[in-house]
Amino acid sequence: MHIHIENDASAPQALHLNMQHLQQQLDAHPQLRGHFTLSENSNAAHTADFLATSDILWSGRKLALDTFSAPRLGWVQVMSAGVEQWLAHLPQGVTLTNASGVHGDKGAEFILMAALMFNFGIPGFLQDQAQRLWRPTFGGCARGKTVLLLGVGGIGAAAAKLLTAQGYRVIGVTRSGQCDADVARCIRIDAIDDVLPQVDVLVSTLPLTPQTEMLFDRRRLDLLPARAGIVIVGRAAVFDYTAMREKLCAGELAGAVLDVYPQEPLPVDDALWSTPGVVMTPHCSLDDHSAYLEGCLEVFIDNLVRFRSGHPLHNQVDVARGY
């Protein structure tokens, strides 16, 4: 069988998988040794040629697969967690596995940081600092505060563990209302309206699917108390950023720690840059380039072993639910 590696020429070298590296990993596994031929490409002009003869694809860049002829292709391993752009172009019969889990360690630390920043009023104190205002407030501990955690996948489950260990009361939100993560309780996504008024910190790790798109429209954002802070590390299109910005300007939210945006890079003239209470990181806070490639490769090698032995793959995207 042939595995083709498609790298993104514009990505940093640390995210390129080279054939030799993969070959070493294959050689190290008795179940994988000698069973695969490999190719590698980062020139978009040659992608079609490689796909024509590949059985398995490792891809470091987004491809509209249905615009290629890939008659033998059965499985694609991608390097991202969010896959909505892949799903829009996925030929029938092709299995898609993502990088879910690889962002967990760093993502959980970021979410914990953001939750603590709200507890200590950092978004407000940054505004005071800019105006040279000395206005102390003497609130309580973070412990015992309520975090509503939208999505309890790789990132969400890792965050739940840290937040719960820190004494937060974590309410997980999933499609089914069930999860194995370290949460106080878990609710269905269609039951969130009832709990929004209790929330101190709203964290979204949600993927973009038909069910999550614009889930947090103006009406739902209005259900949050003014003390609530919002952390968004999943897909931006789950939130109405305009409504969120207007609420921040009106003092109807405590702040927002954001890593993702409706358009990236965020246009220079976007009002979000200077919205009071917004702390921005440029879509990098969950990615650790020193460990990212190895993390994805671990998922891939594990799946190759499962593939060879006929077991179902891990991180397989469910086309119907969209993640």
Q: Which residue in the set 5, 117, 228, 244 belongs to the binding site for a copy of itself (CB under 8 A)? A: 117
How far, in Å, CA of 113 to CA of 166, rounded? 11
Q: Which is nearer to a copy of itself, 138 or 194 (CB)?
A: 138
From candidates 23, 62, 74, 105, binder to a copy of itself by CB under 8 A: 105
Give the residue ranges of DSSP H helices in the chain: 19-27, 47-51, 84-87, 104-119, 122-130, 154-165, 192-195, 218-221, 241-249, 289-308
CA 143 vs CA 164, 173, 199: distances in Å: 9, 20, 14
Q: Which residues of 169-205 are buried (b: 16+ CB within 10 A; e: fewer)?
A: bbbbbbbeeebebbbeebbebeebeeebeebbbbbbb
38 is a site residue for a copy of itself (CB under 8 A): no
Binding status of residue 112 toward a copy of itself by CB under 8 A = yes
Pairwise CA distance, residues 267 & 205, whole Å: 23
The reply to whether 166 sits near a copy of itself by the rule CB under 8 A is yes
- Which string of x and - marks every residue 123-162 that binds a copy of itself (by CB under 8 A)? --xx-xx--x-xxxxxxxxxx------------------x
Which one, of 201, 202, 153, 207, lies nearest residue 181 by Cα?
A: 153
Q: Is 110 in the site for a copy of itself (CB under 8 A)?
A: yes
Rounded to an integer, what distance in angstroms lies between the CA atom of residue 110 and that of residue 104?
10
* 273 near a copy of itself, judged by CB under 8 A: yes
Q: Considering beta carbons, is residue 100 or 212 the nearer one to a copy of itself?
A: 100
Which residues ranging from 4 to 23 are in contact with a copy of itself (CB under 8 A)? 12
Q: Which string of x and - marks every residue 182-221 that binds a copy of itself (by CB under 8 A)?
A: ----------------------------------------
Nearer to a copy of itself, 2 or 283 (CB): 283
Could you list the beta-strand ranges (E) of the chain: 2-6, 37-41, 56-59, 75-78, 95-97, 146-150, 169-174, 185-188, 201-204, 229-232, 255-258, 278-280
What is the total count of residues that contact a copy of itself (CB under 8 A)? Answer: 50
Stretch touching a copy of itself by CB under 8 A, among 28-36, 195-203, 205-213, 259-267: 259-267
Residues that bind a copy of itself in the complex, under the rule CB under 8 A = 12, 105-106, 109-110, 112-113, 116-117, 119-122, 125-126, 128-129, 132, 134-143, 162, 165-166, 264-266, 268, 273, 278-285, 287-292
